Amino acid sequence: MDASNRNVFETLIRALTESMFKHLRKWVITRFFGHSRQRARLVSKDGRCNIEFGNVEAQSRLIFFVDIWTTVLDLKWRYKMTIFITAFLGSWFFFGLLWYAVAYIHKDLPEFHPSANHTPCVENINGLTSAFLFSLETQVTIGYGFRCVTEQCATAIFLLICQSILGVMINSFMCGAILAKISRPKKRAKTIMFSKNAVISKRGGKLCLLIRVANLRKSLLISSHIYGKLLKTTVTPEGETIILDQTNINFVVDAGNENLFFISPLTIYHIIDHHSPFFHMAAETLLQQDFELVVFLDGTVESTSATCQVRTSYVPEEVLWGYRFAPIVSKTKEGKYRVDFHNFSKTVEVETPHCAMCLYNEKDARARMKRGYDNPSFILSEVNETDDTKM
């Protein structure tokens, strides 16, 4: 092997070794140090908020019962079904006790041995069980015809009217709460998917932070709007520490950030310029940062016209510097567009400046080169010309 081939071989081995150690270092940091620290999130990957309220006064807790409709809607299904069953069973048993009391006071029960010409308030109530069955038949309007109210007692007629009105109110409220719970657009948000990681790479000659989002349903989200918030702890010039300080992050696609045509997966991006909070970050210092990027997608469900919001978040370990997303949309021979979700969160490493400041400094240097060269050490000195030629 001659000297030139040996140099090429050594250069190739050195490049492969450096690339291998780079990937090994990133893997070790992500697998061990990233998971061991477990950064606290305000918003989980599926959009749930990780926050709790402590030392809430008792009077403030009563406000939840004033807005009982929203409170019932926000309950989990197991608590809601418990209230649903308890409301009906409780009302049936309560009015069953009242019907038993009416029969007892009027002495319609068999234990009082009523006479043959005795007219009871309610026919065929012989005990607490039959009173409960009559209450059930009255409230759900079954009407078997075996038990009925007579015109003998005004109290029984008044009780029948009260139970009928209260039964309609309970049916309307509980059935409405169940229907509203089922039709909430919160479930529609489950079919909106964000990429597992965010990436930073060049796009259109600018350094950008990119996120991929997809709609798993063929029905569209109308008037979609996407934006972000960067949450981090900051210290003001006065020395005040602000936890979860929020900074607006503008995300756009090629057509803007409003009224998205959300029929296929979109790659949204944030331009890292002088006004971006990511401008002073670099590839080497990204994992040392302490922030949480929360991304919001608001839209109107096409089928129900209900407004829904989808949320997710990214911590520094989930932001990959120097990567871009793999292609996901292709066209078949039949002329149809096909989306391969196998590559939805797949990333490809690309050449990227290690900081935004370096990219802009490089652009400024190229612009100065086009205009000319500056030589700070150049000094202009005057030279007196003399005519040495004599006639």
Tens digit of each residue's pLDDT (9 = 90 or more) over 14-57? 766 776 766 676 666 555 554 445 567 888 888 888 887 777 77
Tens digit of each residue's pLDDT (9 = 90 or more) over 67-123? 888 888 888 889 999 999 999 999 999 999 999 999 999 998 988 888 888 889 998
In a domain, 48, yes or no: no
In a domain, 16, yes or no: no
Same domain, 193 and 329: yes
Range of the domain at 89: 60-183
Same domain, 71 and 85: yes
Q: Is residue 166 scored above 90 in pLDDT?
A: yes
Same domain, 117 and 203: no
Question: What is the arithmetic mean of pLDDT over 137-161?
Answer: 88
Q: Where is the domain boundary, 183, 216, 240?
A: 183
Tens digit of each residue's pLDDT (9 = 90 or more) over 313-354? 999 999 999 999 999 888 888 888 888 888 898 999 998 888
What pLDDT is recorded for position 165?
A: 94
Long-range Cβ contacts of 180-185 (<8 Å, 24+ apart): 180/73, 181/73, 181/77, 181/80, 183/304, 183/306, 184/73, 184/306, 185/301, 185/304, 185/306, 185/307, 185/308
How many domains does the chain fold into?
Answer: 2
Pairwise pLDDT comparison (231 vs 188), residue with the higher score? 231
CATH number at residue 278: 2.60.40.1400
In a domain, 330, yes or no: yes
Same domain, 207 and 75: no
Q: What pTM was estimated for this model as a whole?
A: 0.67
Q: Where is the domain boundary, 183, 213, 228?
A: 183
What pLDDT is recorded for position 70?
A: 86
Same domain, 114 and 213: no
Q: What is the H or E stretch that residue 337 is in? A: strand 337-339
* In the chain, % of residues over pLDDT 90: 29
Same domain, 206 and 295: yes
CA angle 98, 99, 103 (to 5 degrees): 115
Same domain, 266 and 349: yes
CATH number at residue 68: 1.10.287.70
Tens digit of each residue's pLDDT (9 = 90 or more) over 105-115? 999 898 888 88
Same domain, 196 and 344: yes
Q: Write the single-letter amino acid at 368.
A: R
Same domain, 345 and 215: yes
Same domain, 168 and 316: no
pLDDT band at residue 1 under the 50/70/90 scheme: low
Residue 283 near residue 321 (C-beta atoms within 8 A): yes
Q: What is the DSSP letter of 194?
A: E
In a domain, 37, yes or no: no
Q: Write the single-letter amino acid at 113.
A: H
Chain-wide mean pLDDT for the chain? 82
Q: Where is the domain boundary, 117, 148, 183?
A: 183
